[in-house]
A and B are shown apart, each in its own frame.
Chain A
Amino acid sequence: MAFTVTSEMKNGIAQLTLVGELDAAAAGDFRAAIEQSATSQPKRLVLMMNGLSYMASAGLRTLVFARQKMGPSVDIYAIGVQAPVRETLEMTGFQYSVVMLDRYDAAEIEGI
């Protein structure tokens, strides 16, 4: 299944919706979306991942890039991560640097 990323920006929150399979061939699109979002200097980066059925290490690399591009003060949220993708994130220690929530929690995310 092809990978798509759509982005929106509101109230200082950059939200990217990831759908499909994120492999090394698709990671460039994700990275470009991160770079684009970073230009608005958001206070939070929210990744909607309910529709992301697959993620390879190229996706992890892009998360490292996002963290370093956005700076340490920008919290990164991953929402609705599917079980196998979550397992990959946990196997590689990303759960300590990315906040994973089952669903979008406006109070936590927007309480800036």
Chain B
Amino acid sequence: MKPLVVPGTLESLGLIREHIRAAAAEAGLDKRRAYRLELAVDEIATNIANHGYREAGQTGDIVVHTGTDGDALTITLEDTAPPFDPRRLRRPEQIDLPLTDRPIGGLGIFLALENVDEFRYEFVDGHNRNILVMERSLA
């Protein structure tokens, strides 16, 4: 599939999810795993828009690359916001707290990391690259 290039804003999330749904269908992921991948990508893109670009007072694009090989569907999100490795955020302890005691926020990265088979991060030539991998053979 051709890469998708969209502005790094929340208004682009719907387009990104549509793109991921098409890639997941083409790669033969079942519905449940396609949803999990869509959610993970959406959370990373949300983080890029909110914390990467907006809070840094920057604007820029999110580029979504998709690639399939025999075993896996790989989605790469590229942006030019300040370097941020989502893996730095560990599993939040808040999921064990009742809602009355929870901080508001902090679950997006957790959902992104938990819902894919493999997550990698690189910072190359001024670009963040969040790489999300789903095995095609697993159900």
Contact = CB atoms under 8 A, between A and B. Distances in A.
B90 interface: no
Contacts of A56: 39, 42-43, 46, 108, 111
Interface residues of B, number: 30
A87 B31 CA distance: 13
Contacts of A57: 43, 46, 107-108, 110-111
Nearest to B110: A92
B106 to A, nearest CB: 8
At the interface, is chain A mostly helix, strand, loop or mixed?
Answer: helix
Contacts of B36: 84
B95 A64 contact: no
A52 B98 CA distance: 24
Contacts of A107: none
Contacts, number: 76
Contact of A68 (B46, B50, B99, B110): B99
Interface in B39-79: 39, 42-43, 46, 49-50
B126 interface: no
Give the bracket for the number of chain A residues in contact with chain B. 20 to 34
A64 B104 contact: yes
Contacts of B38: 54
Interface string B11-46: 101100100000000000001100110110011001
Contacts of B100: 67-68, 72, 97
Interface of A: 21, 23-25, 54, 56-58, 60-61, 63-65, 67-68, 72, 83-84, 87-88, 91-94, 96-98
